[in-house]
Chain A
């Protein structure tokens, strides 16, 4: 490694160093404010360093990392998500009596793991990134350690993530046995990847299982609602966004270098997963009354939509994936943000009935929430609409009619449960004695919450109304994905 490599890697080195320094810091001073400010500062510094690192041409730092526009874009997205989650957590943890400093250490490391994935170009960095990400998540999910559901969620995630990692590793071994390389870019060289042999397809199948678990797509989705329910709301936001987005970024790179279109068997497998995720995710969300579980199923469906773009392949589809993920990040973070800021010490604000009539007493909070829900549903003028529009355009370009029909059907089903939440928000408050206290009368968003959610809402509308700048960035980004 020379100094140019070092500079290119700075956006990854800074959060790693920061997490170690922060651990040392909390060993000696347990000030919550210091931890929060330190975390935010280091993430912000890493984000700014992306512009320093992004100055030159794409750079491979050892065979493991590629710092090109594509990875820098996704790392930037992940850092922003990290900052948003840290802000959400500051309030969430501040109100609870639990260990606080360690949370930020783990959050920094989880963000680092996600960034390693986004910049990874080798099976070794894939696995290393995945492990930092999931090992920190084991603890973060069970962070409310006196809560039974929290413990259950942590244990479930631990066992299933470990099992899926073993599938992933075995798949990597089989692919390596057949191709003789763990380097993604060597796979792209001519003649490296043979036609689909049994070993290669078994390897790809096992990798799909491992990745499918992390993305929570059907049929590997069973853990999702329980984990979202048991995890603290900010952690659930992190799982829904960073953890999935990072793996998606890596998957896109891998599949485009591998030239997925060459392998019909794998392609049809992914098509099946996409169709199943869109249908089942949306259908299962219909009967839920817990907001976190609804968002969990909604995220399953969204991963299905994204896979349609992966199936399509080509530049348009990659732009669509980038845009969709940016929109999805803003929306999911906003939706979980509302829940996190409304959550009190007695438990997370996840019961749908508690939101009844909130729009009349607290129009702004409800308005923000409605904006997020409409974006998830893909209503025009929101970011979600443009994202879905691009995915559909990419799918239509590749003539993927069956997945597209399912996508439209799924979105229609989705509309029902998103609008159901909106209806509850604008519903009539039950009157008289015995009526449950609803609408979170005592809870205020506070300054941080107000600013954060306002910013996210503006981002959502801006992306939904004026998508051109982001599209331009993305087009420049994906243009050189395959050398």
Chain B
């Protein structure tokens, strides 16, 4: 029962926080609500046996990506941003697309029947601990995507400097 209560708490609060993020007029407030959202997502990951993901969620999203968000928001003209309309004229379109996806997910989740399990079942991850399970796959079988990740990070460095650095 207790885990269910926790799960319900996280689920409901995440929905509320997401709504707060998109409805605030001040972008800085949105970013701060997002911080709360990221912590709740991390909590949810914990309840889904994904400790490493929970840690990454806190370190990367709450720690690093949010800083990036905040800096970008600070580059906006906040005074004008707060005065203007929160939503563009197209918001009904957005809502209908969102509603469609919601209905789609609802039916999908309702009809979910588990297929054949993969190599890494929950039991195995529990026995091995999550971080170790990830490490033992990432650095053996999946070493190529791991090295590719370094190239993607390299592109991010180059891209940021090419686009934003003042040329002399």
Contacts and interface: CB of A to CB of B under 8 A. Distances in A.
Interface string A118-150: 000000110011011001101100110100000
Contact of A138 (B112, B142, B147, B159): B159
A53 B141 CA distance: 21
Interface string B138-163: 00011111011101101110110111
B155 A135 contact: yes
Contacts of B161: 102
Nearest to A146: B167
B115 A125 contact: no
A438 interface: no
B4 interface: no
Interface in B104-136: 104-105, 107-108, 111-118
Contacts of B141: 62-63
Contact of A125 (B104, B116, B145, B155): B145
A475 interface: no
Contacts of B114: 177
B142 A178 contact: no
Contacts of A197: 111, 113
Interface of A: 1, 9, 16, 19-20, 23, 61-65, 99, 102, 105-106, 109, 112, 116, 124-125, 128-129, 131-132, 135-136, 138-139, 142-143, 145, 154, 174, 176-182, 192, 194, 197-199, 202, 205
Contact of B158 (A1, A61, A63, A105): A105
A197 B110 CA distance: 12
A406 to B, nearest CB: 26
B158 A23 contact: yes
Nearest to B161: A102
Contact of B155 (A1, A61, A136, A143): A136
B143 A62 contact: yes
B115 A180 contact: yes
Contacts of A178: 115
A112 B111 contact: no
A179 B113 CA distance: 11
A112 B151 contact: yes
B116 A179 contact: yes
A128 B149 contact: yes
B40 to A, nearest CB: 19
A197 B144 CA distance: 32
Nearest to B142: A124
A65 B117 CA distance: 22
7 contacts: A16-B151, A62-B142, A64-B144, A65-B144, A180-B116, A199-B111, A202-B107
Most A CB within 10 A of own CB, among B104, B116, B143:
B116
By secondary structure, the A interface counts as helix
5 pairs of A and B residues whose beta carbons are closest in the complex? A139-B159, A198-B111, A180-B116, A178-B115, A202-B108
B154 A20 contact: yes
Contacts, number: 99
Contacts of B116: 179-181, 192
B115 A64 contact: no
B129 to A, nearest CB: 22
Contact of A181 (B105, B111, B118, B156): B118
A468 to B, nearest CB: 37
A235 B138 CA distance: 33
A1 B116 CA distance: 28
Given A109-B151, A139-B155, A124 B145 contact: yes
Given A128-B148, A197-B111, A102 B154 contact: no
Contacts of A198: 107-108, 111-112
A112 B155 CA distance: 12
Contacts of B158: 23, 102, 105-106, 139
B152 A132 contact: yes
A106 B115 contact: no
A97 to B, nearest CB: 9
Contacts of B108: 174, 198-199, 202
A61 B113 CA distance: 32
A132 B148 contact: yes
Contacts of B107: 198, 202
Contacts of B156: 135
B150 to A, nearest CB: 9
Interface in B20-47: none
Given A63-B141, A105-B158, A202-B107, 17 more contacts: A1-B143, A62-B142, A62-B143, A62-B144, A64-B145, A102-B161, A102-B162, A106-B158, A106-B159, A132-B148, A132-B155, A139-B163, A177-B112, A180-B115, A192-B116, A194-B115, A198-B111
Contacts of A131: 148, 152
Interface centre among B107, B118, B141, B156, by most chain A C-beta atoms within 10 angstroms, is B118
B166 to A, nearest CB: 11
A405 to B, nearest CB: 30
Interface string B55-91: 0000000000000000000000000000000000000
Contacts of B113: 197, 199
